[in-house]
Structure formats: structure tokens, C-alpha cells
């Protein structure tokens, strides 16, 4: 890496592995620390703290990561030394937290330094790397969801067992299913029978559940909302409802279909309140919130003019603004206009995407190799385990438990490997489509029908609000990154929008201040 850190600069080291198993087998943390310490010595850096942890991307929060952010916030001026991009970030939330601190980042294996003085191109490439990583994870998650869909189609409950059941392996098979929980199944059954009698409201049934000792799996009392969700769950009469489809489950029902139907009749027979926006379709119906937080709804004036107003009841909070649909359309057009970049920049971004995709292919190959090596290692262990059993070195019970654990791990690895193969090809294509949409969204929106306008905005914007006479929008990550690029290359940073209609809330996917673009 060419860039040298100033003498006696202070730094922190961050090292992470993606699972407890990796840490136990010595895959990564020690190797990362050796690499980063050597880099610090070479760059004449004082390492004041080291933060290490083994966490999975599925778990919320990281203790060492959070501790590092608190330390850097209290001690500004430090830099972060980390092996590579995916060791520091698990998701975009992590990216934003680190970015807002304004800390200089040194990704040693990626040969990349990102800080306030970095060029816009470097910052953009950094953002692209994170975007591509998120796109890959999203596709991987989609493939795993397909596996869950297949389980549901076969009548196997696909996720964590509902209250009253436990996840277990079906006796005599390797198939995972759900079985009645000896501690709670009879209580859930009793709850259904009580409510089917018609003697209870949800409130009195909640009290009844407490009296009979029905609690959550963590031993907590069930709130009324949890009781209501329980009564609606079709798994209790043997049906799996997954992604809008219903399949007869292979698990044991806790109640009969007759009791289930009676419970639903009691639930729905207590009166329903019909709500809605009416039969008329408005372009921005339900898409914009007032500054007071309430949704703005449309109405027709004089048979041809559409206006939107706040649905809140207290005028004092926001003044109940009325806004013409044409004015809102003008504001959205201004948002999309800002995404347009010059053709030469458009071409450069495409090249950057392809470069980031190459990096992702390398990481994919490394992960595939690691998975195959782990599978081979486990299979070798299984052979030795069988030999140990035949020689009488281990008990039959230990053999069965250990074999089941290792075979389950092989299944998980094979599922991940298959998901990688299916998820990979679409990633770069999706990124290119987002790039194309960013540059053509303005012209598409101008020519679009009412429904097409809605679809376009819902795809690009996460939130829209009308605040103090202006439209405020928040874009999804990819489009926010494109917005920063477009404004850096086509506008002066201090330029304002003359009509005062639009205020885009950027989440700073990169930092401005590039003095040498």
C-alpha cells in the first residue's frame, strides 16, 4: 500500500471471524492480528487498542464493534486498521455508523485507504464494494428462502416451532419437523377450547392463559397480541401456511379443524371496522407522510383537481396542509433529475461495477474452496468416528450424537454452496439495472402512467414526507450512492434548489470534500 500514515499516528485494530467455529479452529483472528500488527509496525503506527470477536451476520449487534465505535467517538484522531472490507462491515447499518465518525480506514488486504482526503472515485469504489456485498447476501438469502419454501411444500414446518411445539428430528428418519412440547402443548390446546366456547374476549383469555401457567419459551407472560397471533396460527390444526400457500403438515395437530373453525368464527364475529381510502386510485396514495407523522391521502376537488391532505385529527400539530398533486409530481421530478450524470461518468461507473464484481468473484471462489475443505474434513472425521465405534473406543450414544451433529453441518454447508451457485450470476446484472434506472428514471417518470409512477417511486425511495411546504425523500442505499455521485460531478456543493420543493435526506454513503476529483 503506497499511502504512509503520519509518524506516531494512533490506531485501533479490528479483527472478526464470521462464526464461533472459525474462531475455535484458528482460521482467522490470529492471522488477521499478525497481518495488522506487522502493517502498523511498517507504517510507524502506535496501536492503542485491539478489538476482536467471532459473530455471525445473523446476530444483531457486536460487542467489540460497538465498543470500538464508542472508543473512537471519545478519542477522535485514531485510524482503524482492518484486514478487508467484509471484516469491518456486516451490513449498511455498520457502514453508516463508521462513516459518520469520519475515521480514516486502512483495509490492508484490499490495499485501500478511505478518509476525508480520499478522491471521490476511491470513496465511490468503497461504496460499490459494500453495495455488491449486500447484493450478494440478499441473493444468498433469497436462495435459502427457496429452500424453506421447498420444506413447506413437503409439509415440513420450515422455521422455529410455534409455541406448544419443539423443533426435533422425526424418529427413525433424518427429517426435521416439529413435535408437541410436553410442557406447553396441553395448555395451548386448553386455550383453544376455552376461546371456542365463546365465553372470552381476548383480554379475559389473556388472563386465563396466565392462570393456567402458559408462558413463552423464555418463561414470560404472553401479551394480548401474542394470544391473538397464536389463535390465528394454522399450524395448530395441522396446516402450514407459508408465502400465501397452505400445505397439510406432517406434524401432529394440537386441535381439530372443528375447534379451529369455531375459534376463527368467535374471533371474526366480534365486529369488524371497514377502513380504506375509497375506490378511487390516487397516484401518491399512502406514499407520503405529513410532518406530524400521519399519512397524507388524496381527494378530488371540483371533479378534476387532486389534492392531498394530512389524515391527522389535530390541526395544531401540522396545520393540515393541502397540496396539489401537480406540485408533488414536480417535486418528485426534481428528485429524479438530480440522478442524471454525464455519459462519461456513467461509463466510468459501469467500469467500477465490473471491477467490484471481479473482487466478488475472487471472494466467492475462496468461500467455495473453504466450504469444500470443511466438508472433506468432516467426512474424514466421520470415517474415523465410525472406526472408533467399531474398535469400542467410543460409546454408541456418543457416536450417534456426534454423527448427527456433523452430518447436519455438512447439510448446512451443501445448502450454502448450492445457494452461492444460484445467487452469483444475477448480482452484476442487478447492479447494472440499478445504474441504468438511475439515469433514466426522470424521463421514465415523465411518461409513466399513475400506476407506473407509484411502482418506480416505491422501488427507489424508502420514505417520503411533506414538511414545511417541501417534499423530503430518503432513497434506498444504491440510489443514494448514485445521487452523491451525480451531485459531485454535475452540481456545486453550495447550490440550492430555487423552487424550494425538494429536500433529499442523504445518509452520506460517502463523504464530500474531495479537493482533487
381's CB contacts (< 8 A; 6+ apart) are 406
pTM, two decimal places: 0.42
What pLDDT digit, counting tens, does each position of 64-99 carry?
Answer: 898 999 999 999 889 999 988 778 887 666 777 888
Q: 1, 35 in Cβ contact below 8 A?
A: no
C-alpha cell at 330: 414536480
pLDDT at position 218: 84
Q: What percent of the chain has a predicted confidence (pLDDT) above 90?
A: 19
Query: Going from the N-terminus, what domains does the chain have, and what CATH number goes with each?
Result: 9-115 (3.40.50.1390), 165-268 (3.90.1750.20)
Q: Are strands 45-54 and 305-310 parallel, antiparallel or unpaired?
A: unpaired
C-alpha cell at 213: 401457567
Strand-pair partners of 52: 15
Secondary structure letter of residue 255 according to DSSP = S
Alpha-carbon distance 72 to 101, whole Å? 8
Model confidence band, residue 431 (pLDDT cutoffs 50, 70, 90): low
Average pLDDT value over all residues in the chain = 77
Residues 398-426 have a mean pLDDT of: 77
Question: Any idea which of 18-32, 78-92, 188-202, 277-291 has the lowest mean pLDDT?
Answer: 18-32
Q: Are strands 470-475 and 502-504 parallel, antiparallel or unpaired?
A: parallel
Element housing 80 (H / E): strand 79-82
What pLDDT digit, counting tens, does each position of 308-318 carry?
Answer: 888 776 655 67
Distances (CA, A) of 264 to 205, 240, 267, 498: 14, 17, 5, 57
Alpha-carbon distance 281 to 283, whole Å? 7
Alpha-carbon distance 517 to 120, whole Å? 6
What pLDDT digit, counting tens, does each position of 284-324 carry?
Answer: 877 888 888 888 888 888 777 889 888 776 655 677 778 89
CB atoms within 10 A of CB 372: 13
pLDDT at position 281: 67
The torsion angles phi and psi of 181, rounded to 5 degrees, stand at -80, 115
Residues 200-213 have a mean pLDDT of: 90
What pLDDT digit, counting tens, does each position of 163-188 carry?
Answer: 999 988 766 666 678 889 999 999 99
pLDDT at position 98: 84
Q: Is the pLDDT of residue 117 over 80?
A: no
Q: What percent of the chain has a predicted confidence (pLDDT) above 70?
A: 74
Alpha-carbon distance 458 to 329, whole Å? 14
The torsion angles phi and psi of 11, rounded to 5 degrees, stand at -145, 160
pLDDT at position 42: 87
pLDDT at position 455: 84
What pLDDT digit, counting tens, does each position of 133-152 carry?
Answer: 555 555 555 555 666 677 77
Q: 137, 92 in Cβ contact below 8 A?
A: no
Model confidence band, residue 500 (pLDDT cutoffs 50, 70, 90): very low
The torsion angles phi and psi of 207, rounded to 5 degrees, stand at -65, -40
Secondary structure letter of residue 25 according to DSSP = T
Residues 191-215 have a mean pLDDT of: 89
Nearest to 227 by CA among 251, 199, 249, 208: 208
Higher pLDDT, 115 or 498: 115
Model confidence band, residue 250 (pLDDT cutoffs 50, 70, 90): confident
pLDDT at position 329: 92
Question: Any idea which of 204-213, 245-254, 421-430 has the lowest mean pLDDT?
Answer: 421-430
Q: Is the pLDDT of residue 355 over 80?
A: no
- The number of residues making up the chain comes to 517
Q: Is the pLDDT of residue 275 over 70?
A: no
Amino acid at each position: 500500500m503506497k499511502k504512509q500514515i503520519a509518524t506516531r499516528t494512533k490506531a485501533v485494530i479490528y479483527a472478526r471471524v464470521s462464526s464461533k467455529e472459525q474462531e475455535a479452529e484458528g482460521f482467522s483472528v490470529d492471522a488477521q492480528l499478525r497481518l495488522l500488527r506487522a502493517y502498523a509496525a511498517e507504517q510507524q503506527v502506535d496501536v492503542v487498542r485491539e478489538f476482536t470477536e467471532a459473530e455471525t451476520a445473523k446476530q444483531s449487534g457486536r460487542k467489540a464493534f460497538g465498543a470500538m465505535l464508542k472508543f473512537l467517538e471519545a478519542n477522535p484522531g485514531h485510524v482503524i486498521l482492518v484486514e478487508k472490507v467484509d471484516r469491518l462491515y456486516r451490513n449498511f447499518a455498520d457502514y453508516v455508523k463508521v462513516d459518520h465518525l469520519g475515521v480514516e480506514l486502512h483495509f490492508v488486504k484490499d490495499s485501500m485507504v478511505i478518509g476525508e482526503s480520499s478522491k471521490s472515485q476511491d470513496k465511490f469504489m468503497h461504496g460499490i464494494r459494500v453495495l455488491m456485498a449486500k447484493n450478494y447476501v440478499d441473493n444468498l438469502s433469497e436462495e435459502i428462502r427457496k429452500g424453506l419454501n421447498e420444506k413447506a411444500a413437503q409439509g415440513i414446518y420450515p422455521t422455529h416451532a410455534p409455541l406448544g411445539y419443539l423443533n426435533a428430528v422425526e424418529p427413525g428418519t433424518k427429517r426435521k419437523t416439529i413435535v408437541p412440547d410436553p410442557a406447553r402443548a396441553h395448555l395451548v390446546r386448553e386455550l383453544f377450547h376455552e376461546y371456542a366456547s365463546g365465553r372470552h374476549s381476548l383480554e379475559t383469555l389473556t388472563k386465563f392463559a396466565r392462570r393456567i401457567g402458559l408462558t413463552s419459551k423464555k418463561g414470560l407472560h404472553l401479551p394480548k397480541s401474542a394470544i391473538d397471533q397464536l389463535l390465528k396460527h394454522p399450524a395448530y390444526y395441522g396446516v402450514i401456511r407459508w408465502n400465501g400457500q397452505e400445505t397439510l403438515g406432517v406434524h401432529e395437530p394440537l386441535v381439530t379443524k372443528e375447534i379451529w373453525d369455531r375459534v376463527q368464527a368467535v374471533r371474526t364475529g366480534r365486529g369488524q371496522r371497514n377502513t380504506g381510502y375509497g375506490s378511487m386510485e390516487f397516484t401518491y396514495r399512502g406514499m407520503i407522510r405529513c410532518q406530524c407523522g400521519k399519512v397524507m391521502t388524496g381527494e378530488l376537488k371540483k371533479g378534476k383537481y387532486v389534492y392531498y391532505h394530512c389524515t391527522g385529527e389535530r390541526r395544531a400539530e401540522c396545520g393540515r396542509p393541502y397540496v396539489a398533486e401537480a406540485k408533488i409530481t414536480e417535486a418528485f421530478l426534481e428528485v429524479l433529475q438530480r440522478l442524471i450524470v454525464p455519459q462519461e461518468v456513467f461509463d466510468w461507473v459501469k467500469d467500477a461495477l465490473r471491477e467490484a464484481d471481479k473482487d466478488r468473484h475472487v471472494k466467492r471462489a475462496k468461500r467455495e474452496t473453504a466450504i469444500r475443505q470443511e466438508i472433506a474434513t468432516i467426512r474424514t472425521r466421520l470415517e474415523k468416528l465410525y472406526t472408533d465405534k467399531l474398535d469400542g473406543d467410543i460409546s454408541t450414544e456418543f457416536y450417534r450424537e456426534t454423527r448427527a451433529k456433523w452430518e447436519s453441518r455438512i447439510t448446512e454447508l451443501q445448502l450454502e454452496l448450492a445457494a452461492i451457485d444460484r445467487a452469483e450470476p444475477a448480482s452484476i446484472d442487478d447492479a447494472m439495472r440499478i445504474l441504468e434506472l438511475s439515469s433514466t428514471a426522470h424521463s421514465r417518470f415523465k411518461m409513466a402512467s399513475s400506476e407506473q409512477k407509484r411502482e418506480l417511486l416505491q422501488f427507489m425511495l424508502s420514505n417520503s414526507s411533506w414538511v414545511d411546504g417541501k417534499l423530503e425523500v430518503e432513497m434506498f442505499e444504491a440510489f443514494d450512492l448514485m445521487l452523491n455521485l451525480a451531485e459531485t460531478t454535475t452540481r456545486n456543493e453550495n447550490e440550492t434548489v430555487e423552487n424550494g420543493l425538494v429536500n433529499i435526506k442523504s445518509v452520506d454513503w460517502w463523504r464530500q470534500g474531495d479537493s482533487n476529483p
